[in-house]
Chain A
């Protein structure tokens, strides 16, 4: 059986299968907006492979991390917008 890990998305605990991306965890937590543009538009991943930079979230207090390009780790704290 696939191992499960727990991460936090905007302070809410989510249990995800090991090996999923941060972007997947954000969607599993029910969030659809990842970041805000300079003019305040809501943005979410477009390319899914680290080119468009629309998937940026804060991970463990580090801003502007690419959610599509990082896998979830146990206890990770993810923050959108």
Chain B
């Protein structure tokens, strides 16, 4: 049996959902397919931190543009998104990390992102439960927190979705399902996250596993999403395992504690040693966490790329195929910007920001 759609999006995580929502206004017949339940893969395992990152010009442009879109969406649907305008507080442990604070402040200000450099004293005024002896930090007040699975569901409202449906192959304008049936489509979007290479060979995306812990409710313990500046080193280092302190307040008064990064393939067990290191790191930065009750631990697979940028745009060699994958740990933030870029390309409209740094073609240039 062969069905026909204008657009088939493979993957109902936040990226696929955002792409569907963005294309939905264009009178196209859209189908979203998910191997499990929508929003329950990496999206459901993630923190939902909407954050501007300055690792590179391209990442700054995409995250800043995406944050604007999130703030607009969250304003209209604050309770559905579980929107919490808590901002980000980057913590500098010592003078060396304070130099990073000044550099970051400069990068952000050049892109009109409002920031506040914090000295030792003002850091503790904002977050008195931080460990003593830290040098200062950078407060990015416009960053926020949302609840990703709810946002994926919100974006998919009014869109045809097929769950528990396994795609086994994507070829020229054709999606083949495991049950033997086929779907013909003018546009196919591979938004399958860390699983995207299973359907598009040679797509350089690798699962980078991460654990999270959630506490019981302790309202008022911290006000910001707090991240150690060493986090940036943890992301950049391509070593097998790394941890960095990252805590997020939830509207319920609970706290999500991260973060770990690990190249362990599709390993599906809790790495207790790594979780231990992660929590020890968190307690170094906030000693009162030691007295708190953790109620659950889980993990997800970030879709990592070598150059730390997502892959967005048409894929050579397969007719009608577009990629929206490889967002590593920033997919919640960058999903909305990704969707705008992808929709602009599909619909032949002018892109809102320069799409070149994210195009698949860059991957082939590198190889030559």
Q: Do A and B bind each other?
A: yes
Q: Please list the residues of chain A having a beta carbon within 8 angstroms of any beta carbon in chain B.
A: 38, 53, 56, 62-64
| Residues of chain B within 8 A of A38, CB atoms compared | 217, 252
Known: A63-B216, A64-B216, A64-B292. 11 other contacts (CB 8 A): A38-B217, A38-B252, A53-B295, A56-B216, A56-B293, A62-B291, A63-B217, A63-B218, A64-B217, A64-B218, A64-B293
Q: How large is the interface on B (under 10, 10 to 19, 20 to 34, 35 or more residues)?
A: under 10
| Residues of chain B within 8 A of A64, CB atoms compared | 216-218, 292-293
| Residues of chain B within 8 A of A56, CB atoms compared | 216, 293
| Residues of chain A within 8 A of B292, CB atoms compared | 64
| A21 vs chain B, min Cβ distance (A) | 18
Contact flags B213-239 to A (C-beta < 8 A → 1, else 0) = 000111000000000000000000000
Q: Can you list 14 contacts pairing A with B, beta carbon distance less than 8 Å?
A: A38-B217, A38-B252, A53-B295, A56-B216, A56-B293, A62-B291, A63-B216, A63-B217, A63-B218, A64-B216, A64-B217, A64-B218, A64-B292, A64-B293
Chain B, residue nearest A66 (CB): B293
| B287 vs chain A, min Cβ distance (A) | 15
Residue from the set B217, B252, B291 with the largest chain A CB neighbour count within 10 Å = B217
Residue from the set A53, A56, A62, A63 with the largest chain B CB neighbour count within 10 Å = A63
| Residues of chain A within 8 A of B217, CB atoms compared | 38, 63-64
Contact flags B188-223 to A (C-beta < 8 A → 1, else 0) = 000000000000000000000000000011100000
Chain A, residue nearest B216 (CB): A64
Contact flags B303-343 to A (C-beta < 8 A → 1, else 0) = 00000000000000000000000000000000000000000
Rounded to whole angstroms, the CA-CA distance of A56 and B218 in the bound complex is: 13
Nearest 4 CB-CB pairs, A to B?
A64-B293, A64-B216, A38-B252, A63-B218
Rounded to whole angstroms, the CA-CA distance of A53 and B295 in the bound complex is: 9
| A58 vs chain B, min Cβ distance (A) | 11
| Residues of chain A within 8 A of B218, CB atoms compared | 63-64
| Residues of chain B within 8 A of A53, CB atoms compared | 295
| A78 vs chain B, min Cβ distance (A) | 17
| A66 vs chain B, min Cβ distance (A) | 9
Chain B, residue nearest A62 (CB): B291
Chain A, residue nearest B253 (CB): A38
| B110 vs chain A, min Cβ distance (A) | 42
| A31 vs chain B, min Cβ distance (A) | 20
Rounded to whole angstroms, the CA-CA distance of A12 and B244 in the bound complex is: 45
Chain A, residue nearest B292 (CB): A64
| A56 vs chain B, min Cβ distance (A) | 7
Rounded to whole angstroms, the CA-CA distance of A64 and B293 in the bound complex is: 7
| B95 vs chain A, min Cβ distance (A) | 37
Contact flags B261-293 to A (C-beta < 8 A → 1, else 0) = 000000000000000000000000000000111
Rounded to whole angstroms, the CA-CA distance of A19 and B211 in the bound complex is: 40
Rounded to whole angstroms, the CA-CA distance of A62 and B293 in the bound complex is: 11
| Residues of chain B within 8 A of A62, CB atoms compared | 291
| Residues of chain B within 8 A of A63, CB atoms compared | 216-218
Chain A, residue nearest B252 (CB): A38
Rounded to whole angstroms, the CA-CA distance of A22 and B253 in the bound complex is: 25
Rounded to whole angstroms, the CA-CA distance of A62 and B292 in the bound complex is: 9
Chain A, residue nearest B293 (CB): A64
| A36 vs chain B, min Cβ distance (A) | 9
| B295 vs chain A, min Cβ distance (A) | 7
| A68 vs chain B, min Cβ distance (A) | 14
Rounded to whole angstroms, the CA-CA distance of A38 and B252 in the bound complex is: 7
Rounded to whole angstroms, the CA-CA distance of A38 and B293 in the bound complex is: 15
| A22 vs chain B, min Cβ distance (A) | 16
Rounded to whole angstroms, the CA-CA distance of A63 and B293 in the bound complex is: 9
B 160-179 contacts with A by CB, 8 A = none
| B220 vs chain A, min Cβ distance (A) | 11
Chain B, residue nearest A38 (CB): B252
| B289 vs chain A, min Cβ distance (A) | 13
